Amino acid sequence: MTPNAFSTDSSANRLIPNAIPMPHRASPSSKAQQAAATQADPRWAAVLARSAAAEGSFWYSVQTTGVYCRPSCAARTPRPENVRFHASCADAEAAGFRPCQRCKPRQPTALSHHAALVTEACRSIESAESDKAVTLDTLAAGAGLSASHFHRIFKQATGLTPKAYAAAHRAQRLRNALNGSPTATVTDAIYSAGYPSSSRFYEQSAQVLGMTPSRYRAGGTALDIRFAIGQCSLGAILVAQSERGICAILLGDDADALVRDLQDRFAQAHLIGGDAAFEALVAQVVAFVEAPGLGLNLPLDVRGTAFQQRVWQALQAIPAGQMASYAEVAARIGAPTAVRAVAQACAANALAVAIPCHRVVKSDGALSGYRWGVERKRKLLDLESLPSSPSDHASASATVENAA
């Protein structure tokens, strides 16, 4: 019995309950409105999915329990009308909520602990002598984990396996050796970068450098790149092709600016204006821009880091007419914490529409920055939402035949 909950009726010498104020009860209509607002918030989807990728981006509280939780909390999912979202633990506590005892939102997460272990492992890989690669077992022992467990968390944090990360770092050392030691032989650069044999390296030189080592050292000299400029509903479009495939699709308002961009990318290459056959290929790309449902079946010369290429492959897996958030792409490549790196990889993409970075949006569905302008991003998404007509297919088929 709480103090002052009752008073005495002296005339009858008995206790009667005092008037105790009842808590405010929300009307059914306001509950429905709050539930609708919560369900429309993209953070609610993260709560339903118990998304570890959303850790640190927000916290949510439950009015009926008085606690606040991480997005990944394993507690029973609350009713949406009882949920409120907060930008920090301090905000949730200022609103009168206490930390959940199950997910302990104020304590460091296992994910952050794993990130520290992976960072240390990356430094070990990078500092190892070129002829002494660090093994998975050594890295796992340093982290105090089993090899399989360490392999899994390393890939989750970086998007790469330890072996792929080491290969990417070795390739970077080779680039540095070729660029920084003009008097050293190519063979010396190959061995100093940590490749066990020159024959093993030359088997994968196209994937590592995009060209032979001697051509790379010369800055792409003698590399022939054909290009042509066309017009589409997005403005000017430049298409360039190396001997390996399409190496650039650039969009803009100024055709001269697009050519200068291409020259900056391939400063030592021979840029050759396209002939009639190449212009037919440009027409095929333009047809794909106007009717994305047709697809673009052309070889691509994709140049980027191992992580960038992993992101770009994930982008190509997003169907036309659909979108994914940066966080979703990061999760798909097994690196849920690398959201910022995913955004940077999208910004580095030089193959507009072929690698569809325009299909990546913010977590709330808003259109974020796009290398060729947000309006072009909106226009591309609008075009992809339209069904392709039979005439579009006929036009594309004719273009392919002409290009052949």
Does 192 share its domain with 231?
A: no
Q: Is the distance from CB of 279 to CB of 225 less than 8 angstroms?
A: no
For residue range 33-52, list pLDDT tens digits in order: 999 999 988 899 889 988 87
Catalytic option among 100, 103, 122, 357: 357
Among candidate residues 272, 294, 316, the one where a domain is terminated? 294
Task: Report the greatest alpha carbon distance in the chain.
Answer: 111
Task: Read off the pTM.
Answer: 0.52
Query: pLDDT (tens digit, 9 = 90+) per residue, 337-377?
Result: 788 888 889 998 999 999 999 999 888 778 887 888 889 99
- How many distinct structural domains can be found in the chain? 4
| Overall average pLDDT of the 86-96 stretch | 93
Q: Does residue 41 lie in a domain region?
A: yes
- Asked whether residue 119 falls in the same domain as residue 188, the answer is yes
Residue 222 phi, psi (nearest 5): 75, 5
CATH number for the domain that contains residue 327: 1.10.10.10
Question: Active-site residue among 69, 103, 247, 346?
Answer: 69
Which pLDDT band holds residue 178 (cuts at 50, 70, 90)? low
Is 69 tagged catalytic? Answer: yes
Residue 307 pLDDT class (50, 70, 90 cuts)? confident
Q: Is residue 404 part of a domain?
A: no
In sign, the C-alpha dihedral spanning 103, 104, 106, 111 is negative
Q: How confident is the model at residue 110 (pLDDT cuts 50, 70, 90)?
A: low
Domain-embedded: residue 277: yes
Residues 7 and 86 in one domain: yes
pLDDT of residue 200: 56
Q: Please tell me whether residues 90 and 175 are part of one structural domain.
A: no
Nearest Cα to Cα of residue 404 among 271, 283, 231: 283
Kindly give the residue spans of alpha helices, DSSP state H, lying in 186-246: 186-192, 198-203, 205-209, 213-217
- CA dist 233 and 27 (Å) reads 51
> Within a domain: residue 402?
no
pLDDT at 91: 93
Residue of 175, 165, 254 lying closest to 208 (CA atoms): 175
Residues 145 and 164 in one domain: yes
**pLDDT for position 85:** 95
Examine the domain organization and report whether 97 and 144 are in the same domain: no
Check whether residue 118 and residue 102 sit in a common domain: no
Q: What is the CATH number of the domain that holds 267?
A: 3.30.160.70
Looking at the fold, whether 120 and 139 belong to one and the same domain comes out as yes
Return mean pLDDT, the chain.
Answer: 77
Query: In angstroms, rounded to a whole number, what is the distance separating the alpha carbons of residues 27 and 397?
Result: 61
Higher pLDDT, 14 or 394: 14
CATH number for 128? 1.10.10.60
**328: containing domain:** 306-397
- Strand 224-232 relative to strand 235-241: parallel, antiparallel, unpaired? antiparallel
Residue finishing a domain among 294, 315, 350:
294
**Does residue 403 lie within any of the structural domains?**
no
Between residues 328 and 277, the one the model is more confident about: 328
Residue at a domain's end among 107, 137, 171: 107
Answer yes or no: do 228 and 208 share one domain: no
Measured CA to CA, the distance from residue 51 to residue 265 in angstroms comes to: 39
In a domain, 98, yes or no: yes
Is 175 inside any structural domain?
yes
The answer to whether residue 328 scores a pLDDT higher than 50 is yes
67-69 and 98-99 strand pairing: parallel
* DSSP code for 359: G
- Return the residue matching tokens 């429905």: 32
Three-state SS annotation for 154-187: HHHHHCCCHHHHHHHHHHHHHHHHHHHCCCCCHH
Classify residue 384: in a domain, yes or no. Answer: yes
The Cα 66–Cα 273 span in angstroms is 68
Let me know if 100 is a catalytic residue: no
Tell whether 171 and 182 lie within a shared domain: yes
| CATH of residue 30 | 3.40.10.10
* pLDDT number for residue 390: 42
Q: Express each pLDDT in 265-291 by its tens digit.
A: 887 788 888 777 788 888 889 988 888
Based on the fold, state whether residues 98 and 15 are members of the same structural domain.
Answer: yes
Q: Are residues 98 and 117 in the same domain?
A: no
